Amino acid sequence: MRLLLKAIIVLCFSLPIIAADEPNSTTEIPDVNTIVNKANIMAYYQGEDGKAKVNITITNKQGQTREREFIILRKDVNDGRDQKYYVYFLKPADVRKMVYLVHKHVDLKKDDDRWLYLPALDLVKRIAAGDKRTSFVGSDFLYEDVSGRSLEEDTHELIETTDKVFVVKNVPKQPDTVEFSYYNVAIDRKTFVPMKMQFYDKEGKLYRVIESKKIEVIQEFPTVVKSEVRDLKTGSKTEMEFSDIKYNIELEDIFTERYLHRPPREAMR
């Protein structure tokens, strides 16, 4: 399920659906690991690479909004589990042209490699691995929502099956490392797209909800093009919209220092 999270966010690029060759077995219910793995594979490892423009709107309790806009490029390393991300910021103005580069490692023992490029100083800064449950660009999404939570970090249990979704409960193996006690994910039975994730705090109270609000089929891949996270404790919410989504764009290895100094054309158009 780990990836389900990410799925919601990043999946936009990668969400090809396997459902096509997986006839709707409405009668047959796969076991939970199959569901989780399928959602994971569907969310991350379909298509060689992808591109999207992302608009984030953060609305706090008082109704004040802040916006972020960036272009994100993604490429899978060898069909393996590792991936590379290139994030080119367009808004707000003070971070325009900043680049955030991640070499993501799925191995729990290996931290992701991260760089930040600050154009005004021509500075390539290496960023120390951080707590993945901190806010992503000041929004209600967390780094882990974007860059991933390993399936091995949680135990998974299928707790409900309806006409439309499987509901999987995920309990962290190391509860001390996270702020939730468990979270439930509703996964579309046909497409394996995670439709809703609900996080419960240590007292068992629902406090955080991520929902897939709009799904489109892009290059035959069902893709979440709009998702929303609501923090029930702070009263703030963040909406994330994806546009200009393309899969299999034959990205070269642009995930290097060369392309920090000067972004690839794919990131600028």
Partner 1 sequence: MSCPRIIITLLIWAATSVTFPAVARGSDENGTSSLFSELAVETHGFYEIRSGYRIRKDKYEKDMSVMESRLQLELSSYPEWADLKFKADVFGDMVSEEGHFDLREAYIFTRPFDFMDLKFGRQILTWGTGDLVFINDLFPKDWQSFFIGRDTEYLKAPSDAVKMSLFGDRANLDIVYTPKFDPDRFINGERISYWNPTLDRLVGEDAIVHTDRPNQWLRDFEIAARLYKNISNYEFALYGYHGYWKSPGGQNTSGQAIFPDLNVYGASIRGNVGKGIGNLEFGYYESADDQSGKNVLINNSELRYLIGYTQEIGRDFTGGIQYYVEHMMDYGRYKDLQPGPRRDRDRHLITVRLTKLLMSQNLRCSLFTYYSPSDKDAYMRPNVSYKVSDNLAVELGGNIFSGDYPHTFFGQFQNNTNVYTALRYSF
Q: Which residues bind partner 1 (CB under 8 A)?
A: 58, 60, 64, 66-67, 91-94, 96, 103, 111, 113, 120-124, 126-131, 133-135, 137-139, 236, 256-258, 261-262, 265, 268
* Nearest approach, Cβ of residue 114 and partner 1 (Å): 9
* Nearest approach, Cβ of residue 229 and partner 1 (Å): 13
Are the CB atoms for 24 and 64 separated by under 8 Å?
no
Residue 159 vs 268, nearer CB to partner 1: 268
Residue 104 vs 156, nearer CB to partner 1: 104
* Nearest approach, Cβ of residue 263 and partner 1 (Å): 9
Residue 133 vs 226, nearer CB to partner 1: 133
* Nearest approach, Cβ of residue 1 and partner 1 (Å): 23
Are the CB atoms for 112 and 103 separated by under 8 Å?
yes
* Nearest approach, Cβ of residue 154 and partner 1 (Å): 21
Residue 22 vs 231, nearer CB to partner 1: 231
Residue 91 vs 246, nearer CB to partner 1: 91
